Structure 1
């Protein structure tokens, strides 16, 4: 979702009812990037990152999270690399097979890993998911709500932030926010 889609931060909150709880701040009619900057200036970088997760179109939000997770100080595990690779593949080739592969890798992943949630972000980027049931012939079509990608991106950043040494956390949060805001400026 580019800034052009939302004239004000309030428009974003109206489009995504879950944003108010996830971000934890109420806008006052500011432009979207001004609202994110105000959050950061108030020392609420994680809230500003959550706002950017909602502001960005799903592919850009997933890409942003992938790049950020690849720059963490600890080396990713083999599963984390597979999860990030799958999410990036969907970003580059946003077809159903790539999206489903990202979702399947996320489902098999460590739920404490930021990379798992990046793969979920890509997996939840469509209008629905086809899931097989215990009965081989049954397939369920599950509707995916529009905010799930943003919520998964937010979760990835929260988990990544929790893993950072305290001495580096502020620098990482600012860097992630700068990257997200740059992507949003590009529209």
Structure 2
């Protein structure tokens, strides 16, 4: 099964969106087809899943840098950025703990969750038995963060989401040779 088709199932794309996808589509072609058909939420989901995890979090951070954020959102963005620069367990854990403490209620919490759900364990740090996150959770957090950032200007929500997709298309092309789980 192609990466596009597998990602469409993992991210639970809508039936109308999945009907637009062909098994031999490249990732950029598939995302563009969804955007052109007005299936923006599904395009975001597919794009976030097809990007390597670090690229997906970097994209979300790039979008956040262009927004006016409150201190809580800036803190989450800072933790996600730190993980993108140095994707080690300490930075991942710090982002995860921040998102968890924030109850996933802010854009900053979702920014941090995108990095925090990239690997490692979702169990408390003191727990010996690891609980690895599902492979697609980073993409889910990225989509939530993108939607929250788009909603900062609610009257332009749809246009903003489409605009946020454009910078990631170059990342998708750059990351085409990288494993989607990297």
Higher share of residues assigned strand: 1
* Shift in Å, 1:14: 2.1
CA contact (8 A) 2:7 2:46 kept: no
Give distance in 2, aligned partners of 1:146 and 1:16.
14
Q: How do 1:36-47 residues align onto structure 2 when only pairs under 5 Å count?
A: 36-47=31-42
Q: How do 1:82-161 residues align onto structure 2 when only pairs under 5 Å count?
A: 82-109=75-102, 111-132=104-125, 138-161=127-150
> 5+ residue gaps in structure 2?
176-182
TM-score (norm 1): 0.81
Pair 1:180 & 2:175 matched: no
Give distance in 2, aligned partners of 1:50 and 1:37.
12
Give distance in 1, aligned partners of 2:53 and 2:15.
17
Higher share of residues assigned helix: 2
* Shift in Å, 1:80: 1.2
Q: CA RMSD in A?
A: 2.3
CA contact (8 A) 1:65 1:157 kept: yes
* Shift in Å, 1:159: 2.2
Closer/same/farther in 2, CA of residues 106 and 153 from structure 1, 3 Å limit = same
Highest CA radius of gyration, 1 or 2?
Answer: 1
1:78 equivalent among 71, 74, 78: 71
* Shift in Å, 1:110: 5.2
Q: Give the 3-state SS of the residue equivalent to 2:118 in structure 1.
A: coil
* Shift in Å, 1:22: 7.1
TM-score (norm 2): 0.83
- Per-residue displacement from partner, 1:83-141 (whole Å, max 9, x unpaired)? 100000000001100100111111122523122111101011114345146xxxx5441
- Per-residue displacement from partner, 1:135-181 (whole Å, max 9, x unpaired)? xxx54411211001001101112222333232x33432222110111
Match of 2:28 in 1: 33
